[in-house]
Structure 1
């Protein structure tokens, strides 16, 4: 089955935007100092040191997600990371839909980049030939 170049390109664009969002969120929110940062992180139950470490993890996951050979593992790690973000927002009584939507977009983008992901999700047989990208 011939894969659509437009769908693959759309997947890469979405993936790039998602990775840029994750890196910028770390750069702006976790790696820089700004007024109210300690109070906001404290409200969520995290120290600034922990948030710095989480920022490093966030950037590492974004990089793994963009590399074709590690994208699947990166997506799994991203889903786990976003699950933690969702739990944190629920715990402090804040809206939690953003991490959920980002997670859905991440898997859709990966499925557009690597159609085997959709076949795997649907329980279809994926041959060794279809895994070679």
Structure 2
């Protein structure tokens, strides 16, 4: 038991001499402060246009609206960044007019399909 205690004391004294001290640069500190400052004041959500003394439902709905707006902004930024980095733009031929909806005789694809089925049925009847 004494041996175990001595080992623990040696370990703690060795750790006390270590010099690890993490530092945060000014930019990271400013970003963290900006992310926290506009939303919370004393642990309460601060949303422009909503009074602090409002009901819980008002505060929660305001918080949800702010959260949804931020999520939409992040998603828009993410998709914009993705489109900026996406360089592949394939050259694709347009679909034929007869399939795309404009036929030679003016009927769309489904009308021509129906006419063809009627003609096939009439041929079978003969």
TM over 0.5: no
Task: Tell me which structure has the larger Cα radius of gyration.
Answer: 2
**TM-score where L is the length of structure 1:** 0.25
